[in-house]
A and B are shown apart, each in its own frame.
Chain A
Amino acid sequence: MTILEYLLLDVILLFLLIVTSVTVFFLRNLFAATMVLSLYSLVMSLVWLDLDAADVALTEAAVGAGIATVLLIGALVVVGAEERKHHRIHWPALVLVILTTGALVYGTFDLPRFGDATAPAQTHVAPEYIAQSVTKLHSDDHGSKKNSADHPESDNFHGHVPNLVTSVIVNYRAYDTLFEVAVIFTAGVSLILLLGRRVAGNGGEP
């Protein structure tokens, strides 16, 4: 798909993202803001699917549009769902935002053009990982040493895993994933510590 064909769909979706995020800022009923945030997550997931990121789109749809919404609504039951009306525009924040926007837009002219196959991100380590998986796909005998003879020094694993993102997460960069799981575990433990096991009549004391 050429860049222009891609853009016909994405111009609309990305504009929808801007509209929903501005709406989230202006809504004062926080239940409504949560629903629009969930819509924002869903449209973002569609944009990522259009950008060939299928794993990421699935994760954002499940986590962002699913778990985060339930979490926010559960918290709003306790915290209260009406934001008080405030008339002021926060001038220092507005100046900061405009200056940062200008600086970043000036910086984007040096970035590689969208979809460029010769960008440094695409030519550094990724072709090696992709080549390893694709050459294993073309080997007919499972478990033969044919590929090892061809690429002796770079053959790290002897199976064909079609999903390249999973092979990066669980095999090439397994160390990072270990600590990511530790972060999730820590969040679960923190929730138990913070919200406590409030039994009736306990008054919130741990």
Chain B
Amino acid sequence: MRDQVILRVVSKIAAPFILVFGFYVIAHGELSPGGGFQGGVVLASAFILYGLVFGLAELDAIVPRRVTDALTGAGVLLYLLVGLAGIFGDYRFLDYTPLRITGSESAESWGMTLVEYGVGITVASVMITVYREVSQAGSAEK
């Protein structure tokens, strides 16, 4: 079956929708089933689909190694900084009370949102890294 045209066209059309769905799942983690982990995996799957259909070289052109390496650490760092904000505000570690940025009741909202985005970024980057390393080891064997 050499219908590669179908694969290319459909994956290029579907990838933006998958990305939007991934952001939706992360952003609505507090309102419906979802959250950082699920949304991160869905985000990564859009890039993995692109890498499967178009090859590793194209994936490296879109998402270079430096970007995924940096984002892997950035997510954990964001989570840690939110936790340290509690200490710098004279509360306990991971206490969200000093994050009252918009209004006096918004501390928990800000804390939970930032933490969810941190988790989503790290999970997505790690899944792309895992796919890239495994696939590259496979193509280096040949």
Chain A residues engaging chain B, CB cutoff 8 angstroms = 54-55, 57-59, 62-63, 66-67, 70-71, 74-75, 77-78, 142-143, 157-159, 161-163, 165-167, 169-171, 174-175, 177-178, 181-182, 184-185, 187-189, 191-192, 195, 197-198, 200
Contacts and interface: CB of A to CB of B under 8 A. Distances in A.
Contacts of A177: 79, 115, 119
B35 A71 contact: no
Interface residues of B, number: 57
Nearest to A74: B134
A143 B103 contact: yes
Given A78-B141, A174-B115, A191-B133, A58 B33 contact: yes
Interface string B100-142: 0001111111011001101100110111011101111110110
Interface string B36-59: 111001101100100000000000
Contact of A170 (B38, B41, B69, B116): B116
Main secondary structure of the interface of A (DSSP, over half): helix
A57 B33 CA distance: 9
Contact of B105 (A158, A185, A189): A158
Contacts of B119: 177, 181
B31 interface: yes
Interface in B1-55: 25, 29-38, 41-42, 44-45, 48
B38 A185 contact: no
Interface of B: 25, 29-38, 41-42, 44-45, 48, 65, 69, 72-73, 75-76, 79-80, 83, 93-94, 96, 103-109, 111-112, 115-116, 118-119, 122-123, 125-127, 129-131, 133-138, 140-141
A74 B83 CA distance: 37
B87 to A, nearest CB: 13
B30 A162 contact: yes
A139 to B, nearest CB: 11
A67 to B, nearest CB: 6
Given A157-B108, A171-B112, A195-B137, A55 B79 contact: no
A44 B38 CA distance: 16
Given A75-B134, A159-B109, A195-B134, A66 B125 contact: no
Contacts of A175: 93-94
A159 B45 contact: no
A163 B33 contact: yes
